Amino acid sequence: MHEWSLATSLIKEAEAEAHRRGAIKVHSLTVRVGILTGVVPELLERAYGAAVVDSSLKEAKLILEIEPARARCPACGKETEFEDFLLVCPACGGIGLKALSGEGLVLTRMELEVAG
């Protein structure tokens, strides 16, 4: 399951970051998910919920931000923002658009509690 390995690697990354910052508790993780990753947010949330209880993050909440895709049409050069997988240029109907964003899955923010 793709989402399971993403969830566990996000948790590992967050644990390492929390450790670096000397956090005693992690309240939440914010993760930006590009729509072109093909990640299903509900599945990622479920996998995270199951994996996080066995980690040092305990009850840290997962907050997902869905990032739309931007793509440029190779035929007419127009840049468009997409909220689904249909990368067809609305200006000229061209296909084979080049994605400029929307392909990443990034831990963007952590809400931490630091001792002292």
Binding-residue total with Zn ion (CB under 5 A): 8
Tell me which of 40, 50, 91, 114 binds Zn ion, using CB under 5 A.
91
Nearer to Zn ion, 62 or 73 (CB): 73
Whole-angstrom distance, CA of residue 95 vs CA of residue 13: 36
Whole-angstrom distance, CA of residue 62 vs CA of residue 7: 10
> Does residue 95 belong to the site contacting Zn ion (CB under 5 A)?
no
Residues 108, 30: contact at Cβ < 8 Å? yes
Sheet strands (E) in 35-85: 61-67, 69-72, 79-82
Stretch that binds Zn ion, among 46-54, 64-72, 76-84, 107-115 (CB under 5 A): 76-84
Contact residues for Zn ion, defined by CB under 5 A: 73, 75-76, 78, 89, 91-92, 94
